[in-house]
């Protein structure tokens, strides 16, 4: 029998695997561990686990359930270690209403911060109805919420632009709003850092000073620190921190993480060799023949290309790990495959897995070879996602 996918005698999941075999494995224990590192650094500050963009490509719903205190207890009722080690979130941060509703529908009842707030008046009403915490960064949004009945029940955060030059009220606008009698229930004041990853750049402290020039109302909280702030700028931790990229094992800083802090890669991306050839010296490889064999050598072809989210342009430092050895990527990235120099792993054959990033391969190194950042690789990669540590 031939199914919709045109693959005979295979069930649906086998057929999907036969079509594309890019493997994405997410280690939930690694994510919990990384959040415990954020807690270790931030002390008593509460934690918004930032899971926007489908948890940076890791899957927002499974990540939220893995980090929710109630979710941990359901998954491991006889194991209190994770709670004691504080590998859980106090709330979650997303960008859009739809992201938040997906979490609510999956059973997440923790606080959910919506970083871009509503994009319409009806969305503002929905945020109130679903007990969500909107970030208000624009005067129009502020006006929508002011018109709502029961606005005193809203847990709203006011965002001030302290120098990012992106979203947020001006410092003067924020001061005016918080000094007014608008009937709003302001949960907190927040901002976002532009250069916290640059550890010698004093601009973060300038933003911190501008932020503190805004007087908050009694009972309001403060939130400033992203992952870089958590890792390097302790004065910015305040009441709530918002770790993002560090939850997934990536270091955003321009230097190593602090002593005593270990970030574990949460995502491993692999794909198999689909062909192995012996090419003669001088043979060209790939489109435009940009790479030529310096000697008679084995060349492998891996079933992952730019259709799967790998950047098309990589420099000569790009490599993958095959059988624990670094194998350079050679020639141009194709839509469905890449070529690799198999001289370091001559025993490899069709079906041998190549690791693009994970415990054996640095995502930061591959990102550098693509002149990009780890965030882009994580959110772009596509494949069959499985989870460990549930």
Q: What is the pLDDT of residue 76?
A: 55
5 in any annotated domain:
no
Mean pLDDT of the chain: 92
Mean pLDDT of 287-301: 97
Least confident of 19-28, 56-65, 133-142, 289-298: 19-28
Q: What is the pLDDT of residue 73?
A: 54
Mean pLDDT of 9-21: 53
User: How does residue 150 score in pLDDT terms, banded at 50, 70 and 90?
Assistant: confident
Same domain, 149 and 275: no
Q: What is the pLDDT of residue 1?
A: 35
H or E, element range at 49: strand 46-50
Residue 242 has pLDDT above 80, yes or no: yes
State how many domains the chain has: 2
Q: What is the pLDDT of residues 354-387, one digit of tens each?
A: 999 999 999 999 999 999 999 999 999 999 899 9
**pTM to 2 decimal places:** 0.91
- The rounded percent of the chain whose pLDDT value lies above 90 is 85
Residue of 385, 326, 386, 313 whose CA lies nearest to 360: 326
Distances (CA, A) of 343 to 92, 283, 293, 330, 339: 46, 15, 11, 12, 12
Residue 29 has pLDDT above 60, yes or no: yes
Q: What is the pLDDT of residue 72?
A: 59
230 in any annotated domain:
yes
Q: What is the pLDDT of residues 257-276, one digit of tens each?
A: 999 999 999 999 999 999 99
Mean pLDDT of 248-255: 97
Higher per-residue confidence, 192 vs 154: 192
User: How does residue 15 score in pLDDT terms, banded at 50, 70 and 90?
Assistant: very low
User: How does residue 20 score in pLDDT terms, banded at 50, 70 and 90?
Assistant: low
User: How does residue 3 score in pLDDT terms, banded at 50, 70 and 90?
Assistant: very low
72 in any annotated domain:
yes
User: How does residue 147 score in pLDDT terms, banded at 50, 70 and 90?
Assistant: confident
Same domain, 56 and 160: yes
344 in any annotated domain:
yes
Question: Looking at residue 131, which CATH number applies to its domain?
Answer: 3.20.20.10
CB 271 within 8 A of CB 78: no
Same domain, 318 and 210: no
Residue 279 has pLDDT above 70, yes or no: yes
Question: Looking at residue 311, which CATH number applies to its domain?
Answer: 2.40.37.10
H or E, element range at 110: none
User: How does residue 74 score in pLDDT terms, banded at 50, 70 and 90?
Assistant: low
Please list, in sequence order, all residues whose beta carbon lies within 8 angstroms of the beta carbon of residue 247, skipping any fewer than 6 positions away.
31, 34, 35, 38, 49, 50, 56, 63, 227, 266
Q: What is the pLDDT of residues 171-181, one digit of tens each?
A: 999 999 999 98
Same domain, 183 and 305: no
Take residue 22 and report the two structure tokens written for it: 């890019």
Tokens 């005193």 belong to residue: 152
4 in any annotated domain:
no
Higher per-residue confidence, 346 vs 390: 346
Q: What is the pLDDT of residue 383?
A: 92
User: How does residue 70 score in pLDDT terms, banded at 50, 70 and 90?
Assistant: confident
User: How does residue 154 score in pLDDT terms, banded at 50, 70 and 90?
Assistant: confident
DSSP-derived secondary structure letter, 152 = G
Same domain, 75 and 216: yes
Q: Which domain holds residue 281?
A: 267-388
H or E, element range at 133: strand 133-136
Domain boundary among the residues 216, 248, 280 is at 248
Residue of 85, 96, 86, 87 whose CA lies nearest to 51: 96
Least confident of 40-49, 57-66, 181-190, 236-245: 181-190
Same domain, 227 and 278: no
172 in any annotated domain:
yes
Mean pLDDT of 116-128: 93
59 in any annotated domain:
yes
Domain boundary among the residues 221, 248, 275 is at 248
Q: What is the pLDDT of residues 324-345, one digit of tens each?
A: 999 999 999 999 999 999 999 9
Same domain, 230 and 83: yes
Q: What is the pLDDT of residue 77?
A: 52
165 in any annotated domain:
yes
Q: What is the pLDDT of residue 151?
A: 74
Q: Which residues are catalytic?
A: 52, 287
Same domain, 64 and 205: yes
Same domain, 164 and 224: yes
Q: What is the pLDDT of residues 98-114, one digit of tens each?
A: 999 999 999 999 999 99
Q: What is the pLDDT of residue 12?
A: 52
Mean pLDDT of 180-191: 92
């Amino acid at each position: 029998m031939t199914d919709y996918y045109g693959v005979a005698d295979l069930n649906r999941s086998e057929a999907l695997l036969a079509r594309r075999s890019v493997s994405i494995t997410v280690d939930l224990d690694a994510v919990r561990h990384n959040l415990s590192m954020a807690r270790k650094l931030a002390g008593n500050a509460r934690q918004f686990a930032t899971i926007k963009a489908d948890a940076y490509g890791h899957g927002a719903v499974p990540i939220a359930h893995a980090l929710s205190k109630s979710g941990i207890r359901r998954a491991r009722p006889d194991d209190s270690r994770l709670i004691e080690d504080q590998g859980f979130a106090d709330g979650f941060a997303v960008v859009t209403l739809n992201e938040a509703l997906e979490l609510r529908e999956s059973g997440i009842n923790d606080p959910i911060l919506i970083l871009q707030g509503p994009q319409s008046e009806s969305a503002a009403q929905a945020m109130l109805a679903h007990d969500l915490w909107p970030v208000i960064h624009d005067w129009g949004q502020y006006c929508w919420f002011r018109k709502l009945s029961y606005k005193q029940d809203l847990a709203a955060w006011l965002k001030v632009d302290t120098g990012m030059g992106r979203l947020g009220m001006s410092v003067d606008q924020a001061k005016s709003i918080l000094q007014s009698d608008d009937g709003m229930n302001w949960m907190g004041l927040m901002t976002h850092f532009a250069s916290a990853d640059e550890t010698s750049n004093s601009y973060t402290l300038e933003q911190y000073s501008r932020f503190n020039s805004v007087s908050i109302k009694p009972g309001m909280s403060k939130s400033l620190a992203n992952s870089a702030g958590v890792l390097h700028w302790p004065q910015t931790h305040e009441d709530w921190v918002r770790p993002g990229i560090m939850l997934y094992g990536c270091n955003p800083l321009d230097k190593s993480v602090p002593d005593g802090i270990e970030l574990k890669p949460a995502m491993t991306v692999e794909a198999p060799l689909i062909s192995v050839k012996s090419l003669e010296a001088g043979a060209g490889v790939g489109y435009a023949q940009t790479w030529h064999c310096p000697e008679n050598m084995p060349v492998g072809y891996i079933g992952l290309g730019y259709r799967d989210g790998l950047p098309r342009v990589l420099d000569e430092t790009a490599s993958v790990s095959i059988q624990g050895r670094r194998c350079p990527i050679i020639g141009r990235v194709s839509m469905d495959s890449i070529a690799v120099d198999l001289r370091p792993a001559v025993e490899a054959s069709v079906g041998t897995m190549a690791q693009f990033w994970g415990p054996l391969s640095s995502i930061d190194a591959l990102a550098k070879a693509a002149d990009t950042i780890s965030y882009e690789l994580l959110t772009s990669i596509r494949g069959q996602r499985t989870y460990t540590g549930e």
